[in-house]
Amino acid sequence: MCEFCTQHGEGKKWYLQAKNYSEELLNEERKRFMTDFFANFEQYVRDRVGPLEKLIVADPAAARGLYPAVVEEQKKEHYGQVVPLEEIEQIIDMSLAVVRMPCMCRSTLRGFREARYCFGVTTFKTDFLPVAQHPDFSSDLEVLGKEEAKKAMQKLDRNGLVHTVWTMITPYVGGICNCSVNECMALKTRTRLDLPVLFKAEHVASID
């Protein structure tokens, strides 16, 4: 059990708690954060990850000394956890709307602006969709029914992608990503810099 389960899940899996997707949490502060996050994602990566990459080459010990502060800040704002397909489907079952959208990481790292691997989920009716304000991404949004969303996730799972959920000012869950190490900023940061910007899954895989 991770610390988010204790803090935001009453001892249960925090990402399966409907309250963490609720309208009550989507306040003006979170709306501003999400809008700015999508509008300035490339700058966000340059400002946070770029300097660390340079420092870890020049002075690994100094870089690692900064890790605890970086992780604590991430946990407050934008932190993730690996989630198995079965529980992703439970999240979809809780949702009222699922919107498939282009992936900010793939756009930044690979220039693939049309790659739709991210899903926004809400448990309430809302017209607020921060990515919709950005022309590069808003032209390729797709609203899915629950069964459509599950089938899309199952296909991504068969393709070997890792499912993750992410907060937009913790504990509000802003969406689901489907990642690979070469195309996900978080997994890349975790594997290349050994910087834990997301929790491991609550499960361990067993191979027959």
Mean of the per-residue pLDDT values of the chain: 88
Q: Are 190 and 197 in contact (CB under 8 A)?
A: yes
User: Residues 164-206: pLDDT tens digits?
Assistant: 999 999 999 989 999 898 888 899 899 988 999 999 998 887 7
Alpha helices (H) along the chain: 3-8, 28-39, 41-58, 60-77, 85-94, 104-110, 135-138, 146-158, 185-192
What's the residue count for the chain?
A: 208
Q: Are 150 and 86 in contact (CB under 8 A)?
A: no
Q: How confident is the model at residue 136 (pLDDT cuts 50, 70, 90)?
A: low
Query: pTM value?
Result: 0.90
Report the candidate in 128, 137, 123, 143 with the shortest Cα–Cα distance to residue 41: 137
Which DSSP symbol is given to 182?
T
pLDDT tier for residue 67 given thresholds of 50, 70 and 90: very high
